[in-house]
Amino acid sequence: MLDIQNLNVVYGTGRLRVDAVKNVSFHVEPGAAYGLVGESGSGKSTVLRAICGLAPISDGRVLVDGQAVTTPRGKAFYRTVQMVFQDPYASLHPRHTVDRTLSEPLAIHGEKDAEARILQALREVGLGPSFRFRYPHQLSGGQRQRIAIARALILRPKVLLLDEPTSALDASVQAEILNLLDDLRRRLGLTYILVSHDLAVVAHLCERLLVMRNGEAVEETLAESLRSGAASNGYTQALIQASQGFTRVASQPAQALAG
Amino acid sequence: MTTPLLDVEDLRVRFHLRTGIVEAVRGVSFQLGRERLGIVGESGSGKSQTGRAILGLTPPPGEVTAKRLAFDGIDLLTASKRTLRTLRGGRISMVMQDPKYSLNPVMTIGEQIIEAYQAHAKASRNEARDKALAMLEAVKMRDPGRVFSLYPHEVSGGMGQRAMIAMMLVTDPDMLIADEPTSALDVTVSMEVLRILDELVTERGMGLIFISHDLKLVSSFCDRVLVMYAGRVVEELEAKNLREAQHPYTQGLMRCLPTLADDVRPLPTLNRDPSWAL
């Protein structure tokens, strides 16, 4: 479904040159969920942004359905690939109602039958028709993220790019959104790329994942081997350890990180 | 132990708004000795407002009442502004969530630590400077001299947070309130910051109030945990006994986190019982 080949993203030139993504390649099968994990600055979000045209591709290729993407991306691309952002407080227009937010993609792509589509989209993300004419400030964080997911799904894309979709949410709301995403993928046969710093979230939603650090791919592994602790790389091990909570007997992950 | 370090009884924080009265904290009571106390809850549970009320930092139009709010025998509600000023930053200090917003952007880190120290201790500039450098070293800055002369925008989030901890601990406080000190940081960096915080708190025998939304983190870091829901403490327990939590809210919070250890699908969600908020 999605093929990333030797992707490089470079910002600036000369002294100010920053290599945000260095030679990253991976392949995602149709209907699969693929995770990108790493600390901030590891380039995981930049990979997503490069796929959907929000960051420049300096070198390498991005293939969707076997076809290389063009810059700027065409309408057909956005019909196939849509994105959900991290902060639902920032990604919805504060002065547009839910109805207007959801009808905009339909209008851009000249879709008919907007009314029924909007009501269906709301139903899919578990919200009733009563939410249709609300403004974002009249919704809770979890409801906003549901609207952001509905907006991404309303064009019936095949690929959903998820950039930390639950990290701005409370634990109990996070569980609801993760269940929703899991359920939608199964029902609609979607392909996901999930970016998160939380290993447990990635392992829950994805089958395969790529650990990134300083713009480079460190290790591609299976969620299964994360669970069983079979990840070979020292950096991955350090991440696993840090995600287990604070340990008073210092196991010195800092050393593993430096190495 | 005769008098506890902090004694809070029936603390309430009210906001008089145009739309009515919102009670953010509704009758919270606890005592703190020289230990690590965690306060956990979701957004809106009143955990941060509890921390702020103790320091008298409730933003207007908030109103704080309590049957008793005493720090080391000093009543914080009736204390004069002057007394409060000497306590705040001196004997009680607070580490905020995001170093980007809580450090002064136009002062170097060293200057800020010196300012904090000289506000509470009679010290010459040279003494204060030595103290600041020692403090930066205590929070494991690799090159204290260099960090001393840097501005907050020139350091990373983890370094900024360590600088803030240095600033807050330079006056040797008896009690530290940490409000989500690591939420803005990466997992591996936050472990490092916590380790430093843990060391300093244990070494100096401080009382620590650690406010966080992360149940797992708090239970692994603190001795005792208060779980808050809708402005009340619904459960108090020893951190190591978190698995045996009695209240359905605490149990629900524990269960709804995805874990690496086992694969539950769908994740159990939290059914909020209206009676919890009563």
For A228-256, what is each residue's pLDDT tens digit?
877 778 888 888 888 777 776 544 444 44
**Domain presence at residue B58:** no
A222 close contact with B: CB closer than 8 A: no
Considering its fold, how many domains does chain A have in total? 1
By CB neighbour count within 10 A (0-12 exposed, 13-18 middle, 19+ buried), where does A235 fall? buried
Cross-chain Cβ contact B186/A245 below 8 Å: no
Domain of B127 in residue numbering reads as 35-44+84-227+235-277
Closest Cα of chain B to A105: distance in Å? 30
| Average pLDDT along chain A | 89
How far is residue A166's CA from residue A172's CA, in Å, rounded to a whole number? 10
A159 near B CB under 8 A: no
Chain CA centroid to CA B3, Å: 22
Using the Cβ of A224 and the Cβ atoms of chain B, whether some distance falls under 8 Å is answered with: no
Instruction: Tell me the mean pLDDT in the region A28-53.
Output: 91
- Residue B146 in any domain: the answer is yes
Shortest alpha-carbon distance between residue A74 and chain B (Å): 36
- What is the per-residue pLDDT across A54-79, written as a single tens digit (0 to 9) for each? 999 999 999 999 899 998 899 999 99
| Span of A155-159, B6-10, B188-192, B194-198 with lowest mean pLDDT | B188-192
Q: ∠B205-B101-A238 over CA atoms, to 5°?
A: 60
Please report whether residue B30 resides in a domain. Answer: no
- pLDDT confidence band for B1 (50 / 70 / 90): low
Report how many Cβ contacts below 8 Å link chain A to chain B. 94
Q: Is B136 within the bounds of a domain? A: yes
Question: Positive or negative, the Cα torsion across B185, B207, B223, B11?
Answer: negative
The pLDDT of residue A249 is 59
In-domain check, residue B110: yes
Could A200 and B257 be called an inter-chain contact, meaning their C-beta atoms sit closer than 8 Å? yes
**pTM beyond 0.90, yes or no:** no
Residue B129 has pLDDT above 90, yes or no: yes
State how far the Cα of A170 lies from the Cα of A179, in Å rounded to an integer: 14
Rounded Cα gap, residues A57 and A65, in angstroms: 18
**Mean pLDDT computed over every residue of chain B:** 87
User: Residue A204: how many CB atoms within 10 A of its CB?
Assistant: 26
Domain contains B59 = no
Cα Rg, chain A, nearest whole Å = 19
Do B189 and A199 count as a contact with CB atoms less than 8 A apart? no
In the predicted model, what is the mean pLDDT of residues B113-142?
90
Q: Is residue A88 over pLDDT 90?
A: no
**Do A227 and B198 make contact, defined as CB atoms within 8 angstroms?**
no
Q: In chain A, which residue's Cα lies nearest the Cα of B202?
A: A248
A184-203 residue pLDDT tens:
999 999 999 999 988 889 99
**From A176, A204, A257, residue closest to B258, measured CB to CB:** A204
Task: Name the residue facing B260 among A141, A174, A199 (closest C-beta).
Answer: A199
- A110-135 per-position pLDDT tens digit: 998 999 999 999 999 989 899 999 99
Q: Does B85 score more than 60 pLDDT?
A: yes
| B41 or A251, which is more confident | B41
- A64: domain range? 2-258
Closest chain B residue to the Cα of A257, Cα to Cα: B188
Asked if the C-beta of A171 comes within 8 angstroms of chain B's C-beta atoms, the answer is yes
The answer on pLDDT for A206 being more than 90 is: yes
- Least Cα distance to B25 among B42, B45, B4 occurs for B45
Is residue B191 exposed (0-12), middle (13-18) or buried (19+ Cβ within 10 Å)?
A: buried
Instruction: Taking residues B182-193, report their average pLDDT.
Output: 80
Distance CA B184, CA B97 (A): 7
Residue B25 lies in a domain: no
Q: Which of A197, A240, A246 sits opposite B191 (nearest CB)?
A: A246
pLDDT, mean of residues B253-271: 82
* Phi, psi values for residue A67, rounded to 5°: -115, 135
Q: Taking a C-beta distance cutoff of 8 angstroms, is the pair B12, B23 a contact?
A: yes
As for how many domains chain B has, the answer is: 1
Q: Does A206 touch chain B (CB under 8 A)?
A: no
Tell me what ipTM this predicted complex has: 0.76
Q: Provide the pairing of β-strand A67-68 with A59-64.
A: antiparallel
User: Any idea what the CATH number is for the domain that residue B210 is in?
Assistant: 3.40.50.300
Dump pLDDT digits (tens) for B130-185: 999 998 988 888 888 899 999 998 888 888 888 999 999 898 899 999 998 887 77
Instruction: Of B194, B189, B138, give the one whose Cα is nearest residue A257.
Output: B189
pLDDT of residue B247 exceeding 50, the answer is yes
CATH code: domain of residue A48:
3.40.50.300
**Which residues in A lie closer than 8 A to residue B186 (C-beta atoms)?**
39-40, 197
